[in-house]
Chains A and B, each alone.
Chain A
Amino acid sequence: MAKTTMTAEQPNLQKESVRRTDVFKDAGFKEGLKRGVSGLILPFLLFAVWQIVGSLGFVSKTVLPTPVDIVLAFKNLIVSGELFTHLKISVLRAIAGFLLGAGLGLAAGIAVGFSTKTEGVLNPSLQMLRTIPHLAVAPLFILWFGFGEVSKTLLIAKGAFFPIYVNTFLGIREVDAKLFDVARILDFSKWKQIKLLILPSALPNILLGIRLSLGAAWLALVVAELMGATEGVGYMMMDARQFSNTDIVFVGIIIFAVVGKLTDSFVRLLETRLLKWQDTYSGR
């Protein structure tokens, strides 16, 4: 019986794998699809063993809550409305920090990309700042701006700034010099040169930068909220850890994974819309 289901699903799966053409795609998910039902056996077994080991009391629930515990914690958090409140504040923070950081990153990337002079002035310092870890500057941010929203937003902005900055810069520098000749012959104004040649050509890199920036913003959010907060998914996890509610910590992890994946998918949707002109190898 297992065999018939597999063959029935095969053509669909192949289509799926051709359409999904992304380096960031969830390999586990894709593998599972490819192998059809057989791929689900292992996770099922794992969950079953996990549940049984937990239920029989072999492992303490504060160390590893069972899947059922986690699902129940999830449900309770949804019912009480707590999850929504925390998620809302986290998402707002991430958006604010991302807009600030990515906006500045895009502007700086464009400025540096267009002029070697600006590159000489800005790029070395920015590259130096890029390598400083969040955790190293977080205490400073708190010292300067307190525990409030400002320090958190800035930390997230710092995370979101660099990926889009580097990729925009690179994208602009990779514009085909041959097309510049065409722009000169057709008498493009400076503005048309940017609008019709440089930005579209750099767009794949800029979109990649946005995706990486979103991921970085999300990462910085966790750092910011774990450092000290009274609301947010990070705070919810921190709080749960102190009361040994490990199941809630797991819920937090799942939330971060799912929201991260959703935002990423959104940008990928934008990519397929905006880059339909691209003629590159799309994988098999």
Chain B
Amino acid sequence: MTVHIHVMDKSFKKGQTAVQVLRDIRLELEDGEFITIIGPSGCGKSTLLKIIAGLDMDYEGTVEINGLPVTGPGTDQGFVFQEHRLFPWLTVEENIAANLSLKDPETRKRVDELIHIVRLKGFEKAYPKELSGGMSQRVAIARALLREPKILLLDEPFGALDAFTRKHLQDVLLEIWRKKHITMVLVTHDLDESIYLGNQVVIMKAKPGSIGRIIPIELPFPRQRAHPLFQEMRRKVLKEFETADELPLIEGLGI
């Protein structure tokens, strides 16, 4: 399974003028890769993710999964939003099943399996209001996984969580990735998270949003944040990140 992304131009209309958000983005994802995208706020990384998902079709370019163009949102492109976006009137298991019937034994079995994987046993019948932020996000991940997506897109999924919950969910995600071998694209603004999770870190720069550099992370899993190699990687990415961040400033000065 390969994903081919080529976004030539994506602009938002702001009154009379059009503001270019993305320019000439090319990404090739191999089967089972874990790509993390990091960049300054406003660099269009969330917009890029929406384009891959098919939620935003108003752009110039193509997104192909296994050679087939993405023409709209669907279950092939799983999506986890920054906020959990659960249906407040459905229980945990109903939220995971959503439009699939829990009466169907096959769905039932897989929902139970996913509840086990995201460690929510005992909360099947709870409503979202009774869950913590981390638990809600785990339900959202399970909901996306039930559809067996070809690619899982995550838009700063752990951004609003505290450090402990975030670390825990990162490990849950890695475990799912290893078990299910799904291609993942995760947008984040957390440098450590991008290195901890990704085989490749895509650094984006802003104005207009484009790819600064792609850095492969060849550290074995599970990664140790305190390990010198990890720290060295971190310095490397940070250095790239800083130059990427400075570019628009220089451009803005007309140099």
Contacts and interface: CB of A to CB of B under 8 A. Distances in A.
B79 A196 contact: no
Contact of B143 (A186, A187, A279): A186
A178 interface: yes
Contacts of A188: 98-99
Contact of A201 (B89, B128, B143): B89
A196 B81 contact: no
Contact of B73 (A185, A189, A200, A201): A185
B186 interface: no
A192 to B, nearest CB: 4
Contact of B53 (A178, A185, A277, A279): A185
Contact of A196 (B53, B77, B85, B99): B99
Given A196-B90, A277-B88, A186 B99 contact: yes
- Highest count of chain A CB atoms <10 Å: which of B73, B74, B81, B99: B99
A19 to B, nearest CB: 18
A278 interface: yes
A276 interface: yes
Interface in A228-284: 276-279
Contacts of A186: 75, 98-99, 143, 147
A278 B55 contact: no
Nearest to B74: A187
Contacts of A201: 89
B192 interface: no
A160 B104 CA distance: 41
B143 A200 contact: no
Nearest to B72: A184
Contacts of B143: 186
A192 B79 CA distance: 19
B77 A185 contact: yes
Contacts of B75: 185-187
Contacts of A196: 87, 90, 98-99
Contacts of A278: 88, 129
Q: How large is the interface on B (under 10, 10 to 19, 20 to 34, 35 or more residues)?
A: 20 to 34
B123 interface: no
Contact of B87 (A179, A184, A185): A179
A278 B88 CA distance: 7
A197 interface: yes
B230 interface: no
Contacts of B74: 185, 187
Contacts of A185: 53, 55, 73-75, 77-79
Contacts of A203: 89
A182 B77 CA distance: 12
Contacts of B81: 178, 181-182
A162 to B, nearest CB: 26
A201 B89 CA distance: 8
Contacts of B177: none
B147 A182 contact: no
Interface in B150-197: none
A263 B92 CA distance: 33
A274 to B, nearest CB: 9
A182 B90 CA distance: 14
Contacts of B77: 185
A222 B229 CA distance: 83
B240 interface: no
Contacts of A279: 88, 127-129
Nearest to A204: B89
Contact of B99 (A179, A189, A200): A189
Given A184-B73, A185-B55, A197 B87 contact: yes
Nearest to B79: A185
A103 to B, nearest CB: 23
Given A187-B73, A187-B74, 9 more contacts: A185-B53, A185-B75, A187-B75, A187-B147, A196-B90, A203-B89, A277-B88, A277-B127, A277-B129
16 contacts: A179-B87, A181-B81, A181-B85, A182-B81, A185-B78, A186-B143, A187-B73, A187-B74, A187-B75, A196-B98, A200-B87, A200-B89, A277-B90, A278-B88, A279-B88, A279-B129
Interface of B: 53, 55, 72-75, 77-79, 81, 83, 85, 87-90, 98-99, 127-129, 143, 147
Closest 4 CB pairs of A and B: A279-B129, A200-B89, A192-B99, A184-B73
